[in-house]
Chain A
């Protein structure tokens, strides 16, 4: 029986191949996700380990609360002489390792936007792990080394000019050496080397280090040395680790930071798999229906039900195994493609030789085979119901009424359960992870419910979407519509595959439009000042001197600064963004006060705090209470709550403190954003130009944006993310197009004689093509309509709890209409191979066809 199954599969190999492709794409996406993320993590691990290859113990500043910028504080250089006294220290050196910005001679920023650029200081040969592929180490304050990757990317070489900028300063250097570390590519990250005093000067860390690297004398273990250094230094603000511990901590941090990436990618892979499952289910259903006579014949020859089931399952197994193996291979292509996609949107992660873990292989095989078996099981069961008599009669598979009712009830139940899960996820007060799980699970249930119910919707929807086509081409349009309505279950499942992809697309589109709109409103409502100064990346700090510089520009009435730090609310609260505003901030930003007002801000003391309304309610505190924060340097200021505001623009974070407290307790002396208010009658354009000119000279990382640009900048980031999501969803949509092509090919196969007859009585080739094309378009439009309705409803639902935070949904009608048109074109695309086949059909053969 198994041999029979494989033979019959071989006989239908083209169909089998498209079915396999559905498995391949989904599995490749999963495998590619694991391969890419494993590779990225491996690359980070390699970089961390390589850079500390000759180091035994590392000293860094302890960071109590991690900052958004990812920067760790520096510490006093006075620790170094103490370390050098420790017995067993062969060599110890302090190093600068600070994030900065790199520019070429023309002031063009080097490297991708979201990747860090490090300014570092030289370390002696005995600790150095970078090798010089060209040139030599910098020897004086005018010289710099640059990593080979960044140099190549920017087209720089030895002798060229490199400008380095920290928060405070900028200086130009001559490149004297190109470096390389290990085998891993750094992606968009880059590293520049300076002599120590210059590195300290440019980063404003005179008399300070970012880290101290220590190598042990022979015979002293890392652990022993670490203990001795700890005893000698005895400073609780410092973290003293073995090189191994340090690399592991950094690596763990990266895993934590990028873990979401893997999950996000897997979500998209799951969407593609889900769509693939529909395709497999449909293909198997149709082929089983077409092979009824064959099964009946086998039954008359004495084949048992188990044997029939077995033969279909073996077919599925063969497809599953082949799909999983090809998918695994395709995973490498996907991994490379995904990385290219990320680079294209400015996320340039380190890479190294592609990593394939056993886990990846096992998961790929399990998913590929599992999905195929599960989705072919119901069709296989139906094959067993074929009675031997079917061999003699042209029987249809029994479509019992009861089955229809059961399916409808199941569909409604699934839909209700799904909506319930979404509601609990949204309003049930579950924490982030399980809420997302509930909403995701609910979405899957709703989608399944709608797909089960959709055969009942095919008739009206096909009439709706087919009408314009019928008007366009009377007969072919009519026939196309009738053909899609002929077997509603088949059309429904085919359309459902596209529905899933487009539901997600519609959801994301509507939601993103809402976010963009809300940001625009928030910017309009909150910013009274016409211009802002910001780091070009939008979040890193800028020098407070930038504000001083701006105040000197004629026509500038007021520059109000804002500083930001992450802090933890003690006694069980989470990490929150805390901001510190100038006392005159009321003149430039519109704070939505719940309790208090501009005067509260002006009179704020160093032992007082103003909190966000939702921060207050979620932490059970209110005006008059006291709240303690843990800051990045370990301070624990205890503050009295004196006011409350609503942070609609997501600007201020959870709490506002004085700038003095921000400096002393939170160790933040740099600005995150400066609001510039212009004197009445001053020209915003001229002042912006003047500001840009003066910033370019001293603070090239500072960007001057007007309100419009501020909105555009935010919008651009959302658009980029949206582009990324669309690209990731494209795979799922492609799978569903395969589904449309597959279903059409199968139904054309069924209708061979009918097509032959039509051709014999005068239908032209192009009419036959048009008919098939329209069938695809109608199917695609049904899927698109259902998907868009579901997507929009979900967006509206999920926006509900966000309403309080100023999120208002807007419906991008134009984009939704474009999506429908896109779906129609996608249908045309999917119809190309089957319509060509239909039009090439040999009339004579078709009439003979048995």
Chain B
């Protein structure tokens, strides 16, 4: 279970149960899968199927009730808060649906925030490249309130990439955006995978978004019910219909 099989993230028999006794809900019912380096994976499924729960556990934000998660060679399910904090600094990037940026910092400061928090000096060339990639050269000193929703989310994508993490997790990154802005964000994620060999795991409801991925995992009632190449947007819509 390490780099040898090409997986950056590995989940084995991951289960998550909420509550106890009769009221218990099995959000994840024993999931085993891996995520390869340099691949863009989308996770879909009906509401309540366990997508967010899976992603939180993969990212070490939540602990499974059974099973293990490894990121690279580290079993993260055993780590304490300090080690997890370090892991997040070094290995993980996050993109959320809302509240991605600190309103008090400029776009560029938000971009390098993970490095500032870790007390590291950003590599200016890398910063410049990211700024150029997300197309915000003339927005560096703007505050989030002066940016559009799409621009804000592009900063968030760049921020997730700044520390060159092992894996970027995105929970419905386009859930809050119109189709043009969504397309921009997805194109960026795709570019990160293709150009920087970045590993990306994205939870989404949007078939169009899923179609940008290399692999689509579909969940229902805490089980993986489908795991394949997504194909076109139409294919994804068809698949979802079947699963519902």
A interface list, Cβ under 8 A from B: 474-475, 479, 482-483, 485-486, 753-754, 757-765, 767, 843-844, 847
Interface string of B50-68 (1 = CB under 8 A from A): 0000001001011000000
21 CB contacts below 8 A, A to B, read A475-B113, A479-B102, A479-B104, A482-B104, A482-B105, A486-B103, A753-B98, A753-B99, A754-B99, A754-B102, A757-B96, A758-B113, A759-B88, A760-B59, A760-B61, A761-B89, A761-B93, A761-B113, A764-B82, A764-B85, A843-B61
Residues of B within 8 A of A483 (CB): 104
Q: Is the interface of A mostly helix, strand, loop or mixed?
A: helix
Chain B residue with Cβ nearest A752 = B99
Contact check: which of B94, B98, B105 meets A761 at CB < 8 Å? B94
Q: Which 5 pairs across A and B sit closest by C-beta, in order of nearness? A: A482-B104, A762-B89, A753-B99, A475-B116, A762-B88
Complex alpha-carbon distance, A232 and B153, angstroms: 105
Contact, CB under 8 Å: A765 / B104: no
Is the Cβ of A758 less than 8 Å from the Cβ of B117?
yes
Cα(A474)–Cα(B117), bound, Å? 9
Q: Quick check: B116 and A474 within 8 Å, CB to CB?
A: yes
Inside 8 A of B103's CB, which chain A residues have their CB? 486, 754
In the complex, which of the residues A475, A482, A753 has the most CB atoms of chain B within 10 Å of its own CB atom?
A: A475
Given contacts A767-B117, A843-B61, A844-B62, contact A762 B102 (CB under 8 A): no
Within the assembled complex, what's the spacing in Å between the Cα atoms of A847 and B94? Answer: 12
Q: Which of B56, B99, B102, B159 has the most CB of A within 10 A?
A: B99
Q: Nearest chain A CB to B168's CB is how many angstroms away? A: 11
Write out, one digit per residue, whether chain B residues 20-51 have a CB within 8 A of any chain A CB (1) or not (0).
00000000000000000000000000000000
> How far is B84's CA from A765's CA once the two chains are assembled, in angstroms?
11
Would you call B56 and A844 a contact (CB within 8 A)?
A: yes
A762 partner, pick from B61, B98, B118, beta carbons under 8 A: B118
Given contacts A482-B104, A758-B102, A844-B61, contact A763 B85 (CB under 8 A): yes
Known: A757-B96, A847-B96. A762 touches B85 (CB 8 A): yes
Give bound CA distance, A568 to B114, whole Å: 79
Q: Give the docked Cα–Cα distance between A375 and B67 (Å).
A: 55
**Min distance, Cβ B17 to any Cβ of chain A, angstroms:** 15
CB < 8 Å: which of A486, A753, A847 contacts B104?
A486
Cβ contacts under 8 Å, B244 to chain A: none
Alpha-carbon separation in the docked complex, A614 to B196 (Å) = 88
CB neighbours of A762 from chain B (8 A): 85-86, 88-89, 114, 117-118
Centre residue among B81, B85, B98 by max chain A CB count within 10 A: B85
For B113, give the chain A residue with the smallest CB separation.
A761
Q: Say yes or no for B100: interface residue by CB 8 A criterion.
A: yes
Task: Let me know if B104 and A761 touch, CB within 8 A.
Answer: no
Give chain A residues whose Cβ lies under 8 Å from the Cβ of B94.
757, 760-761
Residue of A nearest to B171 (CB): A847
Q: Could you tell me the distance between the alpha carbons of A675 and B143 in the complex, rounded to whole angstroms? A: 75
CB–CB B116/A765 < 8 A: no
The minimal Cβ–Cβ distance linking B85 to chain A, given in whole angstroms, is 5
Q: List chain A residues, Cβ under 8 A from B99.
A: 753-754, 757
Minimal Cβ-Cβ distance residue in B for A480: B104
Chain A positions within 8 Å of B62 at CB level:
844
B116 / chain A contacts, CB cutoff of 8 Å: 474-475
Q: In the assembled complex, which residues on chain A have CB atoms less than 8 Å from the CB atom of B105?
A: 479, 482
B82 contact set on A, CB distance < 8 A: 764-765
Contacts of A764 in B (CB 8 A): 82, 85
Most buried by A among B56, B86, B159: B56
CA distance A779 to B103 in the complex (A): 19
Contact B117 A757 (CB under 8 A): no
Q: Which residues of A contact B118 (CB under 8 A)?
A: 762
* Chain A residues whose C-beta falls within 8 Å of the C-beta of B114 in the assembled complex: 761-762
- Give the distance in Å from the alpha carbon of A486 to the alpha carbon of B103 in the complex: 9
Tell me, in angstroms, the Cα distance from A475 to B122 when the chains sit together.
13
CA A475 to CA B109, docked complex, whole Å:
10
Chain B hits for A757, CB < 8 A:
94, 96, 99-100, 102
With A and B bound together, what is the CA distance between A476 and B93 in angstroms? 20
